[in-house]
Amino acid sequence: MLLAPLAPPRSVVAGKGYWTRLLPLLAVLACVTRVPSFLRPLWNPDEGYLAVQARMLARGGQLYETVVDRKPPLLPWLYEGTFAVFGSGSLTPVRILAVLAQLATAALLASIARRRWGDRAGRTAGALYLLVSVGLNPEDAQAATFEVFMLPCTAAAMWCADRRRWGAAGAAVACAFLTKQTGGAVLLPVLYLLNRYGGPRAGLLRLAAGAALPVLGVALATDPAGFAFWTVTGSGAYASFTGSELHVLARALTNTAILGVASAGLLPPVARALRIARTGAPDLWLWLAASAAAVTLGFHFFGHYFLQLTPPLALLATAALQILPRERTSGAVLASACACTLFLAWGVLAPRPELAHAQRLALTLDRRTAPGDRVLVWGIHPETYWLADRAPATRYLTAGLLTNFSGGRDGPQVGEKYAVAGTWPDFRAELADRAPVLVIDDSRGKPYGPARVPSLRRLLAADYEQAGEVDGAVLYVRVPGQQTP
């Protein structure tokens, strides 16, 4: 007679029951908080840049050679793979992956909190994270861009370190860095936990190997010199804010205030807990501090940068609530839910004038060019290429890489001489090899307009003639028989 299998321990059964109840609830909450992301064809230029990159890679482009950006390769590859499976005409499949990324982050945070403070804390941490994760301008919070896919990696790094799995923690740090460079900031709290747990030298070696080998492998899989240049060494001028100090300060304060509103349920318990007792979570404070330093790096303070603060903030609030009366947890969740509702309404109702502008330009490109034609959109909205399904005439998808213009900075360090090193010779060679049939000057009075870019101005004067305007953007068509000097 066959023996019946032994029943699993009650703790295992309880654990399975816990997750089978919690994960569906977190999944529903993740879907609800991401509903606005599906209501627009795209949310910001980063999504457009990634979509155009993915198409270029699918057509034989080489990352860091003929397809370039200041970012690591994991997300362009993810977009490329998604487009290969589902087609490149819609970002809906990528948005679904973003929902899954948010769910994974929430589940990992819930697991960390449950291990430290119990079942209720796990539920609280997962819910608070998802509620606060959309607490920014919708174009920052709802877009399927770098931070959304970086955060599961940072949470996984802390989850692994909390369990002393140092090799896996290092690999998660590498994954975060390879999604966006600032994700590597999570290495600091991971190292703190290694030291606190008295990790032996073997643990440090496993952590170092786990972090270094994936980065080295990716560098070798692309172009090592190009990878190093575009992700680390080639962006010195980009970090300067000379002449734009007030603009930078205003953006930093504005996005801090917006996230503060979204965190209305989290900040009071943290502040109260700090007054009455220690939360016993120095690694979480270090995680928050390292994330804040990452937000500051480069002095741009775009809203989506602030998403990096939300996982440690959710865990710190959960830690604080453990030493406060039980009703404070319900109050924190309710306040966060109310704030989340306001941000979801913002996402549903707010107009997107720049998207409408890009769509009008894309319609113009569709009408005035053939599918195989190459075009040049001189501006900071690469999504126009994707919306029109036209190939860019250059690897440089925005004027920013060629002029150092970024995020509306109006300082003096904008122009050809502030471009990323080596970009203008490549740009001229590309236009000489296969000149665009149509150029759209979408600068609209910005400091990177042709009047301040001599090389572009000479090109337009020699080879093109003005052919009208669309929504403030100036159209130039190539004059037959002209040759670029």
Tell me, what's the pLDDT at 323?
85
CA atoms of 26 and 317, how far apart (whole Å): 18
CA atoms of 335 and 98, how far apart (whole Å): 25
How many CB atoms within 10 Å of residue 470?
16
Q: How far is CA 371 from CA 82, 106, 221, 375, 395, in A?
A: 22, 43, 31, 10, 18
pTM recorded for the entire structure:
0.93
480: which residues sit within 8 A by CB, 6+ positions away? none
Q: How many residues does the chain have?
A: 485
Sequence-ordered alpha helix ranges (H) in 118-181 = 119-132, 138-141, 146-162, 166-179
Tokens of 447: 């400091």
Nearest-5° Cα angle at 402, 142 to 444? 65
b/e per residue 229-260 (b: at least 16 CB within 10 A): bbbeebbebbebbeebeebbeebbeebeebbe
b/e per residue 157-166 (b: at least 16 CB within 10 A): bbbbbbeebb
What end-to-end distance do the CA atoms of the chain give, in Å? 91
Tell me, what's the pLDDT at 4?
34
SS3 call for 371: coil
Tell me, what's the pLDDT at 324?
85
303: which residues sit within 8 A by CB, 6+ positions away? 136, 137, 139, 140, 141, 255, 258
DSSP tag of 238: G
Tell me, what's the pLDDT at 6?
36
Tell me, what's the pLDDT at 407?
64
Q: Which of 24, 25, 192, 22 is nearest to 118 (CA)?
A: 22
Tokens of 254: 């504005």
Phi (first) and psi of residue 203, to 5 degrees: -65, -40
CA atoms of 288 and 266, how far apart (whole Å): 14
**Is residue 348 classed exposed, middle or buried when 0-12, 13-18 and 19+ CB atoms within 10 A define those classes?**
exposed
Along the 485 residues of the chain, how does pLDDT read in single tens digits? 333 333 343 444 456 799 999 999 999 999 999 999 999 999 999 999 999 999 999 999 999 999 999 999 999 999 999 999 999 999 999 999 999 999 999 999 999 999 999 999 999 999 999 999 999 999 999 999 999 999 999 999 999 999 999 999 999 999 999 999 999 999 999 999 999 988 788 899 999 999 999 999 999 999 999 999 999 987 766 666 665 778 888 899 999 999 999 999 999 988 877 766 655 789 999 999 999 999 998 888 999 999 999 999 999 999 999 888 888 999 999 999 999 999 999 999 988 889 999 999 999 999 999 999 999 999 999 999 999 999 999 999 999 999 988 865 666 778 898 899 999 999 999 999 989 999 999 999 998 999 999 999 999 999 999 999 999 999 999 997 655 44
Q: Which of 266, 33, 295 is nearest to 183 (CA)?
A: 295
SS3 call for 472: coil
